[in-house]
Amino acid sequence: MTHLTCGPELGVCYYPEQWPEEKWAEDAARMVALGLTWVRIAEFAWAKIEPKPGQFDWAWLDRAVETLGSAGLKVILCTPTAAPPKWLVDLFPEILPVAEDGTVRKFGARRHYCFSSLRYREEAARITGEVARRYGKHPHVRAWQTDNEYGDHDTIHSYSHSAEAAFRLWLESRYGTIEALNAAWGTSFWSMTYQGFDQIELPNNLVEEPSPTHRVDFMRFSSDQVKSFNKAQVEIIRALSPGRPVTHNYMNQNTDFDHYAVGEDLDAASWDVYPLGGLVHGRLSDADKARYLRVGDPDQTSFNHDLYRAVGRGRLWVMEQQPGPVNWAANNPAPADGMVRLWTWLAYAHGCELMSYFRWRQAPFAQEQFHAALLHPDSTADQAYHEVAQVVTETSALPAIGPRAKTRVALLLDYSSRWATVTLPQGQNYRAHHIALDWYSAVRRLGVDLDVIGQHSDLAGYDLILAPDLVIVDPTFIERLQAVGTKVLFGPRSGSKTEAMQTPANLAPGELARFLDMKVTRVESLPDYHAESVQMGNLTLTARRWRETIETREQVLATFIGDYRNGTPALIGNNSARYLATLPEPEALRAIMTDTLNWAGVPHMPDLGDLRLTRRNGLTFAFNYGVATAEVPAPATAIFHIGTRLLEPAGVAVWSE
């Protein structure tokens, strides 16, 4: 049965252990009065739950769950493993993670554990079992979150003795023999040959860079450690709390582990949405960052919604939504008034079921004192509180709709390929996550919706797949792609490395030669101050940072022009596939994407500028990221449910046709 909704369910993150108990009932009543129905608790409460080894204090948490639940709130209970208590660290200091430079990362913040520590895995399973056993069938506990923000603070890759021992076992399982490993890693280079798996060390603190295969294998291993760590908790929760969905809250722009793989064990994927921090640390030029200072990158948040909808196999939640200025970025501007409302409807348009705001009340102590919330520290309402109330009111104006449908265009994100480019960037200004977002943004500015997929995803039904950085190609992906006949645009570096991080025998694009009669004979990474010119029809386009020389018998659709190798192909293709050999600037990329959408028969609009459109099951949502009022491209017959044809800055309009 399809679940119909008129808007996302709304919730908030709450920390009863941080507030006097006499406030709990008042807070719960205010949450319900505001229109919230969910509350997330206890992700950092281990020291409060178990103040001493084996001595549990459940009374406070029992009362908190009962107070919140009896007020009408559904509780999302978290496993508290992201913040092991001091007594545990003192008992077992080997659980601490080790940084790449060999420094042991100490107690005093959070995420201070190593995924490879067998002792910590035992303790994490133990506390998960204790919490799930006590609350697994509690009527007020309606969902679970495992741990908190895997990957935060660069904690996926630990260089501990435990990690080294586990890595050796992982390698032996992967390769079988040391001879096979030596061949894959190319250890004849620089006299790096190993005689046994027990000789292998972790790829840190070397005089030079490690073998690229050594480093990518360590990334694969580290990702597998996250998956197995998470799966252990999920299995305990499922056994003790049947019927409740389990999620994990992923992060923005973190590809240190394979999110798809971890998502296989979850019921829904959630992520923590902080658009302004994402802008400050993101892909845009300083001029564009200044322009979007209080609204965020118009496409970064949407990209992540689409990614995590894929990770959750259609089920997307937001566990933490930025409500105001934060504390952790290089700079921390405030959102424009109206943006919390916009971000809420943006999430819903992209398929979000549950929107949870971080947090209920701003903390007057500890590390996040500057991190805004729905309430000020004195419990008076902040701006986001009023915007949430507006969302609640607007929900009643929308018709009920089902989950977001599949789109006609998909963008491919492959984690092994990302690890390959981190290991062998070739240029300091080559950033695969920026490039993929540039491609996504170019299509979104043309009014086209996208899905994000992996090589494992169902490919049927797509008219076009965009693969901006598919460095390592899975042969089964090629077979499935050929079977469905979807058109595909590949970006530079596609197919340029085998699974063992070696150059294909037939040169790049390796496996993609099944689609394209071509080979890459030279690659260049270029400084930002240099520009390449590309001629496509009567358009002269600008590209930067990367250029490839290719030999081909395919149709040449665009060429490089200039003093160096004038007239060599920049874009080639046939009826089923195309290959782009450079990184165009935004305006040039939009021209190429316009031509690509036409080639694939995908309808699109002229450049929307600062407007973004998203469609969900008969409704069109419009969002204005600009500084001026804009007219939305709605047909004359449109019925507006929210907003009007003229959309103010930070405004939202929703219509049906």
Which is it for strands 555-561 and 569-573: parallel, antiparallel or unpaired?
antiparallel
The position carrying tokens 């969302």 is: 391
**Quick one: 550 and 626 in the same domain?**
no
Query: Is residue 308 predicted with pLDDT exceeding 80?
Result: yes
Checking if the pLDDT of 2 tops 90, the result is no
Query: pLDDT tens for residues 361-370?
Result: 999 999 999 9
Can you tell me which residue has the tokens 């089923």?
576
Give the Cα-Cα-Cα angle 528, 588, 290 (nearest 5 degrees): 60
Domain final position from 552, 569, 600: 600
Residues 320, 387, 532, 548: which is the catalytic one? 320
For the entire predicted model, the pTM comes to 0.97
**Predicted pLDDT of residue 560:** 98
**Active-site residue, selected from the candidate residues 149, 387, 394, 548:** 149
Q: What is the predicted pLDDT for the residue at 1?
A: 37
* Mean pLDDT calculated for residue range 623-635: 98
Q: Contact, 126 vs 53, CB < 8 A?
A: no
DSSP result, 325-391: --SSSSS-PPPPTTHHHHHHHHHHHTTEEEEEES-SB--SSSTTTT---SB-TTS-B-HHHHHHHHH
> DSSP secondary-structure letter at 401?
B
628 and 552 together in one domain: no
Give yes or no: residues 342 and 485 share one domain.
Answer: no
pLDDT at 3: 78
Residue 253 pLDDT exceeds 90: no
Same domain, 390 and 415: no
Q: Do 333 and 465 belong together in one domain?
A: no
Q: Which residues pair with 524 in a beta bridge?
A: 547
Are both 419 and 544 inside the same structural domain?
yes
**Rounded to whole angstroms, what are the CA distances from 652 to 181, 295, 625?**
55, 13, 10
Residue 138 lies in a domain: no
- Residue 320 known to be catalytic: yes
Pick from 373, 395, 417: which residue ends a domain? 395
Give Cβ neighbours of residue 205 (< 8 Å, ≥ 6 apart). 100, 101, 102
- CA 523 from centre of chain: 29
| Domain annotation covers residue 413 | yes
337 plus 428 within the same structural domain: no
Give domain status of residue 91, yes or no.
no
pLDDT band of residue 391 (cuts 50, 70, 90) is very high
Residues 448 and 574 in one domain: yes
Residue 171 inside a domain? The answer is no
Q: How far apart are CA 12 and CA 34, in angstroms?
A: 11
User: Does 506 score more than 70 pLDDT?
Assistant: yes
Rounded Cα distance, 236 and 254, in Å: 27
Q: Do residues 523 and 450 share a domain?
A: yes
Give the bridge partners for 104, in sequence order. 98
52-79: pLDDT as tens digits: 999 999 999 999 999 999 999 999 999 9
On whether residue 402 sits in a domain, the answer given is no
The first and second tokens of residue 618, run together, are 């008969």
Q: Give per-residue pLDDT as tens, 131-186.
A: 999 999 999 999 999 999 999 999 999 999 999 999 999 999 999 999 999 999 99
Regarding whether 385 and 281 lie in a shared domain, the answer is: yes
- Higher-confidence residue of 344 and 4: namely 344
Residue 540 domain-assigned (yes or no): yes
The verdict on residue 203 lying in a domain is no
Q: Residue 421 sits in a domain of what CATH number? A: 3.40.50.880
Average pLDDT of the chain to the nearest whole number? 97
pLDDT at 332 over 90: yes
Mean pLDDT of the 535-549 span: 98
Could you give the CA distance from residue 189 to residue 211 in angstroms, rounded to a whole number?
9
In a domain, 451, yes or no: yes
Are 534 and 562 within 8 A, CB to CB? no
Same domain (yes/no): 385, 482: no
Total count of domains within the chain = 3
Tens-place pLDDT, residues 90-137 = 999 999 999 999 999 999 999 999 999 999 999 999 999 999 999 999
Q: What CATH number is associated with residue 640?
A: 2.60.40.1180
Q: What is the pLDDT of residues 257-297, one digit of tens each?
A: 999 999 999 999 999 999 999 999 999 999 999 999 999 99
- Average pLDDT of the segment spanning 440-452: 98
Same domain flag for 479 and 446:
yes
Residue 639 structural domain: 618-656
Residue 300's pLDDT is 98
| Residue 368 annotated among the catalytic residues of the structure | no
Task: Place 348 in a pLDDT band, splitting at 50, 70 and 90.
Answer: very high
